């Protein structure tokens, strides 16, 4: 497809006898927010780990702008332009908000700390709504502010594609709304996003398209409204707890 930013083609990953991701394919378009959804244990996080290079593929290919990134180690995938957040926060508690954001840039090859990098990090803090807390020590931040910072750090990698793994999990109703706005803003600034998310209101309001997984396989793809009323998807979710 012309204009595809990422192409995931027939990827597979087994853990012993358990096929966690089974022949999954999808494309990501520039400027798109794609939801990767499905019941617990359906293979979403494993798919994200395959894209980010944290796990090696058993089979299949992943391309970024037509260039293979599958087979590369996670740091190389990140340098090519795929950044991620984690289900568990990975911040350096003793450092300030700004220092943590700069660390995201400083880990890129050929970069050293400089004024331009600090200025850029401040821009990312602005995007995620943390500009006024640049000098605060991370250990003093609230949970949502820590999540915002983790996002700023991912943005500091200047990704073409951002992988969000349940980034909205654990937020209260007000925080959820501001979290949704932050994700929308990042997309509007030109980063394509793949988000694994259980919060259906967020999926509805943010995603242009969803890929639905069940037991490792892709079972549906389409707009949130279309896939969430698809009988196969409804059946896959039966027995799952409902989320807001």
Cα 195 from chain centroid (whole Å): 5
Smaller CB separation from ligand ATP, 38 or 159: 38
- The least CB distance from residue 47 to ligand ATP, in Å, is 7
Q: Which two tokens stand for residue 69?
A: 């990134």
CA distance 127 to 220: 33
Candidate segments 35-43, 59-67, 99-107, 229-237, binder of ligand ATP by CB under 6 A: 35-43
CA distances from 8 to 26, 40, 83, 140, 244 (A): 5, 21, 16, 40, 29
CA distances from 117 to 5, 24, 112, 234 (A): 26, 38, 8, 47
Burial class (CB in 10 A: 0-12, 13-18, 19+), 28: buried
Smaller CB separation from ligand ATP, 19 or 136: 19
Can residue 85 be called a binding residue for ligand ATP (CB under 6 A)? no
Can residue 41 be called a binding residue for ligand ATP (CB under 6 A)? yes
Smaller CB separation from ligand ATP, 73 or 188: 73
Options 43, 129, 159, 179; binder of ligand ATP; rule CB under 6 A: 43
Smaller CB separation from ligand ATP, 46 or 52: 46
Smaller CB separation from ligand ATP, 45 or 191: 45
137 DSSP 8-state letter: B
Options 42, 52, 191, 214; binder of ligand ATP; rule CB under 6 A: 42
Can residue 147 be called a binding residue for ligand ATP (CB under 6 A)? no
Options 2, 17, 40, 66; binder of ligand ATP; rule CB under 6 A: 40
CA distance 88 to 50: 18
Binding site for ligand ATP (CB under 6 A): 15, 18, 20, 38, 40-46
């Amino acid at each position: 497809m012309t204009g595809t930013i990422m192409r995931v083609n027939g990827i597979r990953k087994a853990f012993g006898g358990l096929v966690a991701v089974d022949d999954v394919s999808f494309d990501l378009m520039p400027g798109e927010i794609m939801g990767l959804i499905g019941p617990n244990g359906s293979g979403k996080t494993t798919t994200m780990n395959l894209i980010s290079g944290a796990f090696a593929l058993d089979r299949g290919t992943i391309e970024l702008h037509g260039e293979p990134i599958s087979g590369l180690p996670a740091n190389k995938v990140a340098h090519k332009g795929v950044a991620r957040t984690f289900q568990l926060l990975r911040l350096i508690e003793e450092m300030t908000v700004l220092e943590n954001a700069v660390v995201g840039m400083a880990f890129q090859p050929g970069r050293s700390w400089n004024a331009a990098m600090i200025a850029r990090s401040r821009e990312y803090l602005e995007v995620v709504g943390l500009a006024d807390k640049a000098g605060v020590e991370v250990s003093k931040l609230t949970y949502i502010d820590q999540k915002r910072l983790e996002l700023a750090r991912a943005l500091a990698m200047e990704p073409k594609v951002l992988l969000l793994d349940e980034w909205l999990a654990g937020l209260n109703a007000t925080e959820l709304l501001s979290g949704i706005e932050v994700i929308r803003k990042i997309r509007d600034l030109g980063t394509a996003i793949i988000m694994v998310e259980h919060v259906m209101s967020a999926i509805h309001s943010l995603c242009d398209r969803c890929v639905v997984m069940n037991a490792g396989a892709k079972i549906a793809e389409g707009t949130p409204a279309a896939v969430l009323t698809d009988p196969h998807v409804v059946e896959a979710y039966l027995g799952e707890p409902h989320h807001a």
